[in-house]
Amino acid sequence: MNFWCQNKRKGCSSSGSIRSKVILEILTRIYDSFRTITEEDFNAYSTKNREEFKQKHNLAFKESTALKQLLTKKRNDSDEFIAKNLNRKLDDKERKVYESERKRQANEIDGINLRLFQLEKQLLSVPLKHQELLNLLRNLSVSLKFASPEQKDVLAKNTILNLSVLNGKVVEIRLQEPFASGISPENLKKILFGGPGWD
């Protein structure tokens, strides 16, 4: 979690950064809170949120379908642009314009591919069963204690979707699935309230 650290000697000079220890303690609180859920409560939650899960899945499918069509168009546009300029003799000014446009097109295509990857990951996800959730949390807790810094970094990214930092303190946090659907923002703040880095 080096990009979250606050150690300027390691190049982390942003005033909006926080120590990796804070992130680890937040993850511990999240995992511990989910490990206390009973099977009865979990089943009640699953029934209540099944329709919401289906709606999210349908939205992801629609967005993915539209982006695939857009990606095909952008690739065709890029190919046409390259073919149009392939045999042209460009002066320095024209070459700069050409290279700038190629870079813009490439960045646009990369952005679409990244979003498609995120959507495909969401589409492959399925609601967990109670024991599967407990096993997942047990494995996550072990990884949190004994994994390398790089593995902890990946673990944090797969649990936390986004967090906002102000003056070295976490002021807002959003979770990845399956955690996001399992806890409301209000309850999440209650779990973390008073913890390190949380106002």
For the stretch 4-60, pLDDT in tens is 443 344 444 444 445 577 777 778 887 777 777 777 877 776 776 677 778 888 999
Residue 17's pLDDT is 47
Residue spans per domain, the chain: 2-192
Residue 3's pLDDT is 39
Residue 193's pLDDT is 59
Residue 110 identity (one-letter amino acid): D
Which residue from 64, 61, 65, 55 is spatially nearest to 181, judged by alpha carbons? 55
Average model confidence (pLDDT) across the chain: 76
Average pLDDT over residues 126-152: 75
